[in-house]
Amino acid sequence: MLKKPQWVKEGLTLKGKIITVVLLLVVIIGGSVVAFKFYNFTQNNPKFCISCHLMQPAYNAWSKSKHKGINCHSCHHLS
């Protein structure tokens, strides 16, 4: 049977607990920022819509129309 390391038996020190909490917060906050930026890009940036080569003609027409200031999902809610 494997022996448990000493720090597992004794638990983390205060410094170890603080470092663990800080690292967890950095990971959670960093992940949230990345997730928000990805969501925002996919929902509000027309460049996401033209990432599919089939959308280039539609993007060209939209970018020259009077609706060019409106993002795609304002009209295409479920797409």
Q: What is the DSSP string of 4-69?
A: PPHHHHH---HHHHHHHHHHHHHHHHHHHHHHHHHHHHHHH-HHHHTTSGGGHHHHHHHHTSTTTT
Q: Lowest mean pLDDT of 31-35, 38-42, 55-59, 70-74, name the range.
A: 70-74
pLDDT value at residue 18: 94
- Confidence (pLDDT) at 4: 78
Considering the chain, what is the average pLDDT of its residues? 86
Dump pLDDT digits (tens) for 8-35. 777 788 898 899 999 999 999 999 999 9
- Which pLDDT value is given to residue 78? 65
pTM: 0.65
